[in-house]
């Protein structure tokens, strides 16, 4: 999907207006889905004129891709902040999983947008996970080099751990009215540290 990117606003007012449109797009596309959501729906939710949308975005495709990228940045920055105080990789795994589940809880519409990207914008979907996986694998390899975790294929491990987090987010956060993140993190972290061996 080729997307023409519009220039970013330079004034505070412009940045605020653009952010308001992004927030409205997250809500509208998250609720209705990409195909059913219209630019008119987005501008109505943002309480802005239809023409104003095109000052900041070339079309619905561009705002959608930005929402996917924003979810990736939000997830990575929240995880980085939470694992900053971890004294080893196993502690970091626990903190990172918790951070991810909190993002899913706090931004369910954006999570749904990322999942819809698999069909709407496969390149953005792949980029989202590939970028995350690459950084994750690097962190795991560094931890193995320091002796904090056992040696193994860091890339396979990163994707396996990402799969665990993604599925737990769906089952225990999106599908539950009251998500017990602490319980999920505790059990999953025990499994990650000890595996299934008796």
Which of 3.30.70.100, 3.20.20.70, 3.40.720.10, 1.10.357.10 would CATH assign to domain 64-194?
Answer: 1.10.357.10
Kindly list the domain boundaries of the chain, sorted by start residue.
12-62, 64-194
Classify domain 12-62 at the CATH superfamily level. Answer: Homeodomain-like (1.10.10.60)
- pLDDT at site 5: 56
Q: Is the pLDDT of residue 150 over 60?
A: yes
Angle at 184 between CA 31 and CA 139, to 5 degrees: 90
Distance CA 52, CA 69 (A): 22
Task: Report the chain's mean pLDDT, rounded to a whole number.
Answer: 92
- pLDDT at site 1: 54
- pLDDT at site 17: 94
Distance CA 156, CA 41 (A): 41
| 172-183 pLDDT per residue, tens | 999 998 999 999
pTM of the prediction?
0.85
Q: Is the pLDDT of residue 163 over 70?
A: yes
Distance CA 68, CA 126 (A): 10
């Amino acid at each position: 999907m080729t997307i023409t990117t519009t220039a970013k606003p330079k004034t505070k007012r412009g940045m605020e207006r653009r952010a308001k449109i992004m927030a409205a797009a997250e809500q509208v596309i998250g609720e209705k889905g990409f195909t059913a959501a219209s630019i008119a729906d987005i501008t109505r939710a943002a309480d802005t004129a239809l023409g104003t949308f095109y000052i900041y975005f070339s079309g619905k495709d561009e705002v959608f891709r930005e929402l996917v990228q924003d979810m990736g940045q939000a997830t990575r920055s929240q995880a980085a902040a939470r694992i900053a105080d971890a004294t080893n990789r196993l502690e970091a795994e626990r903190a990172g999983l918790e951070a991810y589940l909190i993002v899913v809880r706090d931004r369910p519409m954006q999570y749904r947008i990322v999942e819809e990207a698999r069909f709407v914008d496969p390149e953005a979907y792949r980029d989202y996970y590939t970028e995350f996986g690459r950084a994750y694998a690097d962190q795991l390899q560094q931890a193995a080099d320091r002796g904090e975790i056992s040696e193994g294929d860091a890339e396979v491990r990163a994707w396996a751990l990402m799969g665990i987090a993604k599925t737990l987010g769906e089952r225990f956060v999106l599908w539950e009215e009251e998500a017990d993140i602490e319980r999920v993190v505790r059990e999953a972290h025990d499994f990650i540290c000890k595996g299934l061996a008796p």
